[in-house]
Structure 1
Amino acid sequence: MKEYIYVGSNELLDLVKKIPKGQVVFDGASVAKWINETDQELNADDEIIATFVVNTFGQLVIADRQSEHVVCAGGENVLSAGEITFHVGKNSVVVTEITNQSTGYCPDIVSWDAAEAALNLAGLKHPEGFTRKFVFRKCEKCGELNIVKEAWYVCVFCDTDLPGEWNIS
């Protein structure tokens, strides 16, 4: 599977030295344990949104939603990254939403394969794909990262056409 390198700011990368990396998810019980140990609060629907990465060992790793993906990953490359929503029931933990929203790694939508494999490894029920997909492209003229919206492949910084294929590395 494709590995994604961190492409964000050095300032955020420096946080890796100060903040512990995320928690590996082995099963639903480890999600519940993480919620309790980190004083996370479920919303009115008994859900919690977290930052996630899939590490290069294929494991799901989670951290507080306000944390940076690069910190969650301990500064390492990832196979996928984004946000994940868990519904926590009395006897179960289920993934209800998952995205590839990470401007630090800008994973392609094909990183779903790694996310799905990690969720399956942890035995978590989940959607059949990213519930919201983010399309990232790097402008070949000005070098800025872009999120493509509504299939409009034009750089918001310099108005140059963006490539159709994922090109961030």
Structure 2
Amino acid sequence: MNKFNRIFKKNKYKLYLLALLAIVLIFAGIFLKKKYEDMTMSKYSNDIVIIKGNGDELKSFSIKELKALGSNKTEVYINNGLEKVEVEGISLEKLIGNLDYNFRDRPTIEIEDNNGNATRYPMSVALEVDRIYLVYKIEGQPLLEYNPSYGTLAIIDTNSKSASSWITNVKTLNLQ
């Protein structure tokens, strides 16, 4: 024990500097990781989704604004429940719940993609907490880079077991 105390007293400043260096490196790594993620998403930051209320535009959000609203990471199944992937996006209840809009007169939400195809969800399902997500990242990669057929934004029902039920290339959410 005396040998340890003698070595510690002799080198305590070097140990303190080593600990401080380790802490600085950890923070620098976190900062660089965030900057790298921002750089990979920057080319998609201007892609928007438009929210309409009975045909009139209520609000539009870019991917950058969606991230600022507070994105969540969650795991969903693909390939008939055989594979689990982590997705990042914002839940629809959080996105459209903050719009100051009367949902009593609007029982459905229609989701339109780039090709003009529309899919309807009951508003009760869309506003269910953490069920339907507007996703822009899978496994830490932008959606378009993960699978080009998904586009830049996709609607994912966390209860589904397959990516075939996802609505890809999302452009418009119309509250009807």
Name the TM-score, length of structure 2 as normaliser.
0.25
Q: Which structure has more helix as a fraction of its residues? A: 2
Structure number, greater radius of gyration: 2
Name the TM-score, length of structure 1 as normaliser.
0.25
Q: Which structure has more strand as a fraction of its residues? A: 2
